[in-house]
Structure 1
Amino acid sequence: MSISIKEANAKAVERMQNAEPVLVDIKTAGDVIPEMTKKTILHAGPPVEWENMCGPMKGAVIGALIYEGLAEDEDEAVELAGSGEITFDPCHHHQAVGPMAGVTSASMPVYVVENQDQGNKAFCTINEGLGKVLRYGAYSEEVIEKLKWIENTLAPALKEALSLMEDGINVKNMTSQAIHMGDECHNRNKAGSALFIREITPYLLQTDIDNDTIKDMINFMADNEHFYLNISMPACKATMDAAHGIEGSTIITAMARNGVEFGIRISGLEEEWFTGEAQVIDGLFFPGYSTDDANPDIGDSTISETAAIGGFAMAAAPAIVGFVGGTPEDAVNFTKSMYEISVEENDTFTIPSMGFRGTATGIDVRKVVETGILPTINTGIAHKDPGVGQVGAGLVDPPKNCFEDALRAFAKKYRG
């Protein structure tokens, strides 16, 4: 091939290193997400049609159709979802990401994160909190009421507060600080959520919103340790989209799961997905639940690992093993092994306990296949039935075949 893979990968990783994702606004999905319509439902992971969706994703679709006023109840929503009138498409095809089911519909408010190095944007819904929530497939009246409260109260307030900031919130710097405080910013977001609340609260207090409402909003954010996840995810998406589409690059620019399949995208292979069967997560279950209750791996949140945090930064978050299983030594070893499949070390996300060594950055699909080392992913476990919610957390290996298939396709394209 005429182009050097090494040079192409260096360009892709340079885009990652230079990315400056900044939270600049909150807007309505239908107004800002490309090609979004009233009858478009975006979802996590690679493409999947209604009839093949897992339980939590189907439940989230039902909830979104009720939330949008397109259906009155579950029966109407199921009929509409299967009618062919609704367009289902991955969030990743629309500059967006979503945790767990990842379902995003036109009326939902979304964070707008702009990569100020390349000018590209990424979007993500606001985290709903814990318990029975849409991202886990719940669609009861209380779920819809919470989504409406986010749409009509929380989102406008955060939007107004952001408008008072001169430069928005630099998410890359905030994530770096959170890692130094014990987060890895995928399954552990305690520090990131606290940093965001600290940053936004003074500006909320400058608005004309009454103090009781502000108190309710702060309590809502503070009670949800994963609130920051929906901010860091679009920052990672904006980072990786800047590295996508580079001719001759073998860098992985997306890893995502829809509860049925795990899929990856490669920088030099444009929009193509390479998929394998989503795996059941090995981890710690909440009391009363077991592997028999678990849905296979689901969600776009593996954009975290793709962008050099999450499982790649576990050494910075030893306390996470109490949530996902293993020991602090395991967390360090997982992080160290990721250098074997990556191109560089990150110049912003550094790990204090490892002498401030940067996290492994730029997963090279060739190295994954050559070494047999799979990207380390830590994630939540969804119940296989819609509406039950999270039942645990743990570690999961992606299916090997998707990396092998991607490398074969790369060889076919560039070497005939």
Structure 2
Amino acid sequence: MRLKERTIAIVLGGGKGTRLYPLTMDRAKPAVPFAGKYRLVDIPISNCINSGIRQIYILTQFNSASLHNHISNTYIFDTFSNGFVEILAAEQTNQTDTWYQGTADAVRKNLKHFHDQNADYYIILSGDQLYRMDLKDMLDRHIACGAELTIATKPISREQATGLGIIGCDSEGIITKFYEKPANDLDISEYKVADSLLHASLGKHVDASNEYLASMGIYIFNAKTMEEVLNNDKTDFGKEIIPDVIKQRKVATYLFDGFWEDIGTIKAFYETNLDLASINPQFNFYNEMMPIYTHRRHLPATKVNFCNISSSLTSEGSIITNAYIVNSIIGVRTIIESGASLDGVYCMGASFYETEVEKTANAKKGIPNIGIGRGTIIRKAIIDQNARIGDGCRIGIDDIPRQEGDFAMYSIHDGIIVINKNAVIKNGTVM
């Protein structure tokens, strides 16, 4: 059997996604819309498909309906490939009636499902990261060095190390120690990576300030090893399982020097999305050799009428009239009316088009149409799906005190205004 057919991928969908609230109010974190037309879960799934790994499980437990809908309508493999993308939500059984208690616990509770594939290797991936990686290359490295566990790592500076798990390894890339999120004032110089390893692994110039290796939360286990190290009640890979395995077994590092970003917070989500619309984005979606896949909607091309649009992305099916748009992302089926102005806005768009009958009925009730109304000005905001923003609104414009927190139709986190999914913002609202 070919190597890729002996490997299954497990994508960790995360918990409640509180750091991405309110985007996770009604959906699982992997189902959050991303880059105008994708979902977060499309990133790890696409990396798997591009690497020839087509047996993929998604583990989740909160608000999984939209995730189920996206997966079932998108990833359909033919009967000859033996490929699948399957969601495993937390379930009650005769052995347990609890939800997933952590990343390791989620995998442990689904081992019985994984056994059906008789795999030799398990690849553990995160559902909220943006990167493009050849997982087959990482698997080759895992097998060649005879490791029981291989951890993907990225060279970083000392300043970046505070919020990440730091790996210590020898000159051959065999991991000897691990430190979780070292404080700024802690001396971790013993964790510095050898220049010879960096140059041998990456084969190109490496930034001299990137002297440490951070765990990317991407793991390859031998199947037998993973089942043995999960034969306990420990709940988390990063905090409990991985440090113990490093002490007892052969663990290798796989160095990765491409773009990688954890997008688990509103600030990171907002900044990562808007960077995609810049002239030279850090992550390149325009890669035909390793595309990012998503659901085919069969929508018409976006219609642009008398607009000024720069450093922005516009997804299919939108209609934009006489608008000024800069540093923004416009999602699918977005309707933007005359005179609107958007600067630094991620508008997720809509999941359907309104009919004229529906628009007339809503107008009689004082309810705006889905989309952005006439003359509305928006700065530094995320507009979730199917939001209705009326005419003449001013969102994020006026210099007024803004209280951070979650409110009826919107939230404010890190100074970023988030308009909730299905929110109704009436004409003339100032926010």
> TM-score, normalization: structure 2?
0.27
Q: With CA pairs under 8 Å and 6+ residues apart, which has the higher RCO, 1 or 2?
A: 1
> What TM-score, normalized to structure 1?
0.28
Q: Name the larger-Rg structure.
A: 2
